C-alpha cells in the first residue's frame, strides 16, 4: 500500500472502532434502536445498492421517515466499512440554514460525537467543520459558491440535494450546474431527496435515473375545514379589552355559557367573507380572485379559540400551528401569553419554530413536556417537511405560506403570504398522524382548498429572474437564455428577456450582457438589485443612514398601522411624518423618532401613540445591522461606518439615491385644476394606494414620482412612492454607463421635451459623465 492509502485505511479503522464502541454503550444502543425503527433504515441495503450502481438516484419518502438523518449516514458508514471511508467526502445541501445546523447536530448526537468531528455544517458566516469531517451539511448557497471556486468539486464524492420538492430557485439553478458536471466527474454520486416528489420529472431530467420510494405509514387524521370548525364553535365572543394592541387585533374573551345557537362575531365575519369571495374563476397561477378572501385578520382569534378548545377538551398530544412567518408567530405568541389557560406555563408549553430561532429553542421543540403540560408549537412551513416534531397529534393550518426562504436577507417578510398547494396542505395534515390518529383544522373553507393548485409552481417560474440572471453572469455560465433553457422547467423566454432588459436599464449589464462594475457589486449583495443599488449609492454619497432605513423598510411589513375603527386617529398620527412627498422619507422619520424614544426607554409607548408596529421597527433595526455587515464585507464602507453619514440630512440627495434604486419605476405627475393624475409609460393612468402619503395631497410640487412596486388589480396601483425633480431623474434615473446617457434621454424624451433642447442635453451629458466616472471608480 502507498503511504497515503495506508493512513486513510488506518483512519477508517479508527472511525469504525469509535462507532462500534459508541454503539456498544447504553446510550448508543438506545440510539441505534431508534434509528433501526425508522422506515429508511429498513431500506438501508436497497438504498446503498442503488446508489452504488448509479450515478444519480432519486429518493422519496414521507417526512420523518429518516431521509435526512439516515441516508447520509448510511453512505458514510458503508464507505467506512469498505475501508476508504476516510477518503469519502459527502456534501448534503439544505434549503435553509436552520435545517443545515439542526440536522448536523442531530446526526452528531446519533453518532455519539460532537459537531465538527465526522459530521459538520457550513452556512453563511458560520460553520463547524474539522479535519475528520466527511459529512458536511450546508445551504444551497454555500455549495453554489463552492462550485464557483471549483467547477469540478474536486475531492467531493457524494452530493446529496435534500428537500428537492420545494423547487426553490437556487436548487433548480444548482441542478443545471450539477447535471453538466456529472459527465466530467463520472465517479461523483448525486442523490436527490424529497418528501413529495414528481419522481418522473426528475428521473427524465437525469436521463432515466432510478427512483427509490421509502414506504411510510401514518395514522388516519380527521380533517376539519372552516365550515366544520364554525359548526363546532358554540361560543360567543365578547370584547373585554377595547384598547387593543396598536389597534391590530382586538382581544376577546371566550364565554362558554353563551347560548348554543348564537353565532359568534367571528363566525359571521367569516361567513360574510366566504359569501363575498368569488372562488369560481380562481386562477391558481396568479391566485387572483382568492385574494379577496383573507383569513389573516380573523385568524388569530380563531386559532386562539381552537387551541383553547383542544386544551380543555381533547386527549393529550402536542399541537402544531402553521403560520406564515416570524412576525405573525411572535404577535400570536404575545397574544396567547395573555390568555388565562394558554398563557399558563403549568398547563401549556408555548414554543416557536422558524428560520431564525436559536439552537436552545430548537432543542426544546423535540423534548417531551412534563405530564399534564401541553406542547404548542407555532411554526412556519419549515415544520412542513424539514423539521419533524415527534409527538404532534393536532395540526392547525392557516393555509398560507410566505414563498421563498433561503437566507436571512431574502427571507424577510417583503414576500406576501400566498395560498399553499394541495400537496402542502396534505403534508401539513399528515404531521398530525405520526404517533396516533390525529386531527387537523384547516382555517379556510373547503372551496378554497378545492381551488388550491395541485403543486406549488417552482420558484423559477413564478418570481422575477433578475437576481438569478446576475448570478449566472457572475458564475460565468455563458448566455443567460441558453443557460436557463437547460433548466428542469425553463422560465418563459419573455420573462428572461424582461429580466435582462431590466438589468441593462439599471446598469448592471452592458449592451453585450456582460456584468458591469455595478453589476459585480450587486451580485455580492443578496437582495433585489434595486435595493442593492440604493445601498451602494448611499455609501458612495455619504448618506447611508437614512438609506439603510429605506431599504430595510421596503423589506418588512408596512409599519404604519390603520386599524379600521381608528382610521382617523391613525391618519392624523401618520401626517406628522409626511411633508416630504415621500413614503420612504415618512418611514425614515418614523424610525428615527422610534430610535430616539428607545433611548429614553419609551419605544413601546411611541409606537402605540403613533400607530406604528413595534415589530416592524425592530425588524428594520435588525436588518440595518445586517446590511452594514454586508457592505463592510464587500468593502464599500470601512469598519467604523460613521464616515458614511455626513450628508444624511440632505433630503434631496436621499431622493436622488431612492430614484437611482427605483428607476425605471417612475411615473409623471400631471396637475389639473383641483388635483393631479399619474401616468407611466407602459400603463397610462395609474393610481396610488390610499395609504400612501402622496394620496392625501392635492398637489405635488415635483414632476415625477418614483415607486417601489406596481400592482394590477382592476387599475394599476402604486405602492410606496417618492417625489423627485427633473434633474434628479436625468442624473440618477437609469444606468450611469458611458454611452447609455443617450438611450436614457431617448426613453425620457416623450416626457421631457424641454431637456431635448441641444444645449441643455449637452450640459446634462457632461454632468452625467462625471457622475459615471465617480461611480465606476
Ligand atoms: P426526513 O428527512 O425523512 O423527513 P429525518 O431524517 O429528518 O426525516 O428525521 C427522522 C426522525 O428522526 C424523525 O421522525 C424524528 O423522530 C427524529 N429526529 C430528527 N431530528 C431530531 C432531533 N433534532 N431531535 C430528536 N429527534 C429527531
Ligand atoms: Mg428531511
Atom of ligand 1 at shortest range from CA of 387: 7
Q: How far is the CA of 330 from the centre of ligand 2 (A)?
A: 25
Atom of ligand 1 at shortest range from CA of 162: 2
CA-closest candidate to residue 586, choices 696, 734, 735: 696
| Average confidence (pLDDT) over 310-322 | 93
Q: How far is the CA of 68 from the centre of ligand 2 (A)?
A: 4
Q: Where are the alpha helices (DSSP H) in 120-194?
A: 140-149, 169-181
Distance of alpha carbon 161 from alpha carbon 175, whole angstroms: 9
pLDDT at res. 505: 84
| The C-alpha cell that represents 643 in the structure block | 464616515
pLDDT at res. 326: 77
| Average confidence (pLDDT) over 328-335 | 85
Considering only CA atoms, which residue is closest to atom 18 of ligand 1?
388
| The C-alpha cell that represents 158 in the structure block | 457524494
Q: Which residue has the higher pLDDT, 150 or 230?
A: 150
| Average confidence (pLDDT) over 591-611 | 93
Helices 296-313 and 265-276: crossing angle in degrees, nearest 10, is 130
Nearest ligand to the CA atom of 104: 1
Q: How far is the CA of 163 from the centre of ligand 1 (A)?
A: 14
**Which residues does 685 contact at the CB level (< 8 Å), separation at least 6?**
677, 678, 679, 715, 716
Confidence class for position 131, pLDDT limits 50, 70, 90: confident
Q: What residues are paired with 705 via a beta bridge?
A: 667, 723
Atom of ligand 1 at shortest range from CA of 66: 6
pLDDT reading at 247 higher than 60: no
Confidence class for position 729, pLDDT limits 50, 70, 90: confident
DSSP E strand stretches across 609-751:
666-671, 676-680, 684-688, 704-712, 716-724
Q: Which residue has the higher pLDDT, 770 or 224?
A: 224
Pocket of ligand 1 (CB under 6 A): 38, 61, 63-70, 102, 106, 366, 388, 390
Q: Which residue has the higher pLDDT, 758 or 242?
A: 758
pLDDT reading at 259 higher than 70: no
pLDDT at res. 749: 53
Of the residues 64, 70, 353, which should be mutated to test ligand 1's pocket, given the most ligand atoms within 8 Å of the CB? Answer: 64
Considering only CA atoms, which residue is closest to atom 20 of ligand 1?
106
Flag the least confident range among 86-90, 292-296, 599-603, 717-721: 292-296
CA-closest candidate to residue 721, choices 684, 645, 668: 668
| Average confidence (pLDDT) over 441-445 | 87
| Average confidence (pLDDT) over 151-172 | 91
| Average confidence (pLDDT) over 378-383 | 89
Of the residues 388, 391, 430, which should be mutated to test ligand 1's pocket, given the most ligand atoms within 8 Å of the CB? Answer: 388
Distance of alpha carbon 351 from alpha carbon 477, whole angstroms: 44
Nearest ligand to the CA atom of 94: 2
Q: Are 100 and 125 in contact (CB under 8 A)?
A: no
Q: Backbone dihedral region of 478: left (phi > 0), alpha (psi from -120 to 50 degrees) or beta?
A: left
| Average confidence (pLDDT) over 596-619 | 91
Q: What percent of the chain has pLDDT over 70?
A: 83
Residues around the ion ligand 2 (C-beta < 5 A)? 68
Confidence class for position 324, pLDDT limits 50, 70, 90: confident
| The C-alpha cell that represents 90 in the structure block | 459527502
Q: Which residue has the higher pLDDT, 204 or 298?
A: 204
What is the enclosing helix (H) or strand (E) of 684?
Answer: strand 684-688
Q: How far is the CA of 115 from the centre of ligand 1 (A)?
A: 17
Q: Which residue has the higher pLDDT, 605 or 757?
A: 605
Confidence class for position 266, pLDDT limits 50, 70, 90: low
Q: Let me know if 11 is exposed, middle or buried by CB neighbors in 10 A (0-12, 13-18, 19+).
A: middle
Considering only CA atoms, which residue is closest to atom 26 of ligand 1?
366
Confidence class for position 776, pLDDT limits 50, 70, 90: low
pLDDT reading at 261 higher than 60: no
Confidence class for position 743, pLDDT limits 50, 70, 90: low
Q: How far is the CA of 471 from the centre of ligand 2 (A)?
A: 27
Q: Backbone dihedral region of 283: left (phi > 0), alpha (psi from -120 to 50 degrees) or beta?
A: beta
Q: Which residue has the higher pLDDT, 29 or 329?
A: 29
Q: What are the tens digits of pLDDT across the range 337-348?
A: 998 889 999 999
Considering only CA atoms, which residue is closest to atom 19 of ligand 1?
388
| Average confidence (pLDDT) over 176-194 | 95
Task: Say whether 633 sits in a helix, a strand or coil.
Answer: helix
Q: How far is the CA of 167 from the centre of ligand 2 (A)?
A: 15
Q: How far is the CA of 188 from the centre of ligand 1 (A)?
A: 27
Whether the link from the prior residue into 664 is cis, omega within 30° of 0, is: yes
Atom of ligand 1 at shortest range from CA of 102: 23
Of the residues 69, 101, 108, 160, which should be mutated to test ligand 1's pocket, given the most ligand atoms within 8 Å of the CB? Answer: 69
Nearest ligand to the CA atom of 40: 1
pLDDT at res. 6: 80
Considering only CA atoms, which residue is closest to atom 25 of ligand 1?
366
Amino acid at each position: 500500500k502507498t503511504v497515503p492509502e495506508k493512513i486513510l485505511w488506518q483512519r477508517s479503522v479508527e472511525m469504525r472502532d469509535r462507532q462500534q464502541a459508541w454503539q456498544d454503550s447504553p446510550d448508543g444502543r438506545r440510539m441505534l434502536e431508534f434509528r433501526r425503527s425508522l422506515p429508511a433504515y429498513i431500506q438501508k441495503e436497497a438504498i446503498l445498492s442503488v446508489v452504488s450502481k448509479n450515478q444519480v438516484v432519486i429518493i422519496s419518502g414521507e417526512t420523518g421517515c429518516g431521509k435526512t438523518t439516515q441516508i447520509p449516514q448510511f453512505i458514510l458508514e458503508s464507505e467506512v466499512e469498505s475501508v476508504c471511508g476516510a477518503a469519502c467526502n459527502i456534501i448534503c445541501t439544505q434549503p435553509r440554514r436552520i435545517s443545515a445546523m439542526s440536522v448536523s447536530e442531530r446526526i452528531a448526537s446519533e453518532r455519539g460525537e460532537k459537531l465538527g468531528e465526522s459530521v459538520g455544517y457550513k452556512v453563511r458566516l458560520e460553520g463547524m467543520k474539522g479535519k475528520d469531517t466527511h459529512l458536511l451539511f450546508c445551504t444551497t448557497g454555500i455549495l453554489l459558491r463552492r462550485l464557483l471556486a471549483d467547477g469540478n468539486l474536486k475531492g467531493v464524492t457524494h452530493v446529496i440535494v435534500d428537500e428537492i420538492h420545494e423547487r426553490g430557485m437556487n436548487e433548480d439553478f444548482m441542478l443545471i450546474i450539477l447535471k453538466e458536471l456529472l459527465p466530467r466527474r463520472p465517479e461523483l454520486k448525486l442523490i436527490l431527496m424529497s418528501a413529495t416528489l414528481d419522481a418522473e420529472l426528475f428521473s427524465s431530467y437525469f436521463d432515466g435515473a432510478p427512483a427509490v420510494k421509502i414506504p411510510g405509514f401514518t395514522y388516519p387524521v380527521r380533517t376539519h375545514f372552516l365550515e366544520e370548525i364554525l359548526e363546532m364553535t358554540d361560543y360567543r365572543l365578547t370584547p373585554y379589552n377595547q384598547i387593543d394592541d396598536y389597534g391590530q387585533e382586538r382581544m376577546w374573551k371566550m364565554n362558554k355559557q353563551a347560548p348554543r345557537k348564537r353565532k359568534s362575531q367571528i363566525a359571521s365575519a367569516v361567513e360574510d367573507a366566504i359569501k363575498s369571495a368569488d372562488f369560481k374563476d380562481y386562477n391558481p397561477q396568479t391566485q387572483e380572485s382568492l385574494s379577496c378572501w383573507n383569513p389573516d385578520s380573523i385568524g388569530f382569534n380563531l386559532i386562539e379559540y381552537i387551541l383553547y378548545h383542544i386544551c380543555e377538551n381533547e386527549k393529550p398530544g402536542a399541537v402544531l400551528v402553521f403560520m406564515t412567518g416570524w412576525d405573525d408567530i411572535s404577535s400570536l405568541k404575545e397574544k396567547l401569553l395573555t390568555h388565562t389557560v394558554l398563557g399558563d406555563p403549568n398547563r401549556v408549553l408555548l414554543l416557536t419554530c422558524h428560520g431564525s430561532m436559536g439552537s436552545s429553542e430548537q432543542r426544546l421543540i423535540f423534548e417531551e413536556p412534563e405530564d399534564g403540560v401541553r406542547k404548542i408549537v407555532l411554526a412556519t412551513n419549515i415544520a412542513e417537511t424539514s423539521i419533524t416534531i415527534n409527538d404532534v397529534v393536532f395540526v392547525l393550518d392557516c393555509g398560507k405560506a410566505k414563498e421563498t426562504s433561503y437566507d436571512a436577507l431574502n427571507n424577510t417578510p417583503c414576500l406576501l403570504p400566498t395560498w399553499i398547494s394541495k400537496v402542502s396542505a396534505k403534508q401539513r395534515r399528515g404531521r398530525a398522524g405520526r404517533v396516533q390518529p390525529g386531527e387537523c383544522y384547516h382555517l379556510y373553507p373547503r372551496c378554497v382548498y378545492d381551488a388550491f393548485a395541485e403543486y406549488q409552481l417552482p420558484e423559477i417560474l413564478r418570481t422575477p429572474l433578475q437576481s438569478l440572471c446576475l448570478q449566472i453572469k457572475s458564475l460565468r455560465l455563458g448566455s443567460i437564455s441558453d443557460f436557463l433553457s437547460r433548466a428542469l422547467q425553463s422560465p418563459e423566454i419573455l420573462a428572461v428577456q424582461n429580466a435582462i432588459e431590466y438589468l441593462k436599464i439599471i446598469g448592471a449589464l452592458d449592451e453585450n450582457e456582460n456584468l458591469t462594475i455595478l453589476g459585480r457589486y450587486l451580485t455580492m449583495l443578496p437582495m433585489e438589485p434595486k435595493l442593492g443599488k440604493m445601498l451602494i449609492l448611499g455609501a458612495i454619497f455619504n448618506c447611508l443612514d437614512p438609506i439603510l432605513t429605506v431599504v430595510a423598510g421596503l423589506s418588512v411589513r408596512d409599519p404604519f398601522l390603520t386599524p379600521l375603527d381608528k382610521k382617523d386617529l391613525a391618519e392624523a398620527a401618520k401626517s406628522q411624518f409626511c411633508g416630504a412627498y415621500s413614503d420612504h422619507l415618512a418611514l425614515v422619520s418614523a424610525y428615527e423618532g422610534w430610535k430616539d424614544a428607545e433611548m429614553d426607554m419609551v419605544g413601546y409607548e411611541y409606537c402605540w401613540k403613533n400607530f406604528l408596529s413595534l415589530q416592524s421597527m425592530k425588524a428594520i433595526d435588525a436588518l440595518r445591522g445586517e446590511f452594514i455587515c454586508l457592505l463592510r464585507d464587500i468593502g464599500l464602507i470601512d469598519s467604523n461606518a460613521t464616515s458614511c453619514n455626513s450628508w444624511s440630512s440632505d433630503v434631496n440627495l436621499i431622493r436622488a439615491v431612492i430614484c437611482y434604486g427605483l428607476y425605471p419605476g417612475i411615473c409623471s405627475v400631471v396637475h389639473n385644476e383641483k388635483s393631479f393624475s399619474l401616468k407611466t409609460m407602459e400603463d397610462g393612468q395609474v393610481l396610488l394606494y390610499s395609504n400612501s402619503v402622496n394620496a392625501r395631497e392635492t398637489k405635488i410640487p415635483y414632476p415625477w414620482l418614483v415607486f417601489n412596486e406596481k400592482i394590477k388589480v382592476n387599475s394599476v396601483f402604486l405602492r410606496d412612492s417618492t417625489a423627485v425633480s427633473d434633474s434628479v431623474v436625468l442624473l440618477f434615473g437609469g444606468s450611469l454607463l458611458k454611452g447609455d446617457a443617450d438611450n436614457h434621454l431617448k426613453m425620457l424624451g416623450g416626457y421631457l421635451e424641454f431637456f431635448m433642447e441641444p444645449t441643455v442635453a449637452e450640459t446634462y451629458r457632461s454632468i452625467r459623465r462625471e457622475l459615471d466616472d465617480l461611480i465606476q471608480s
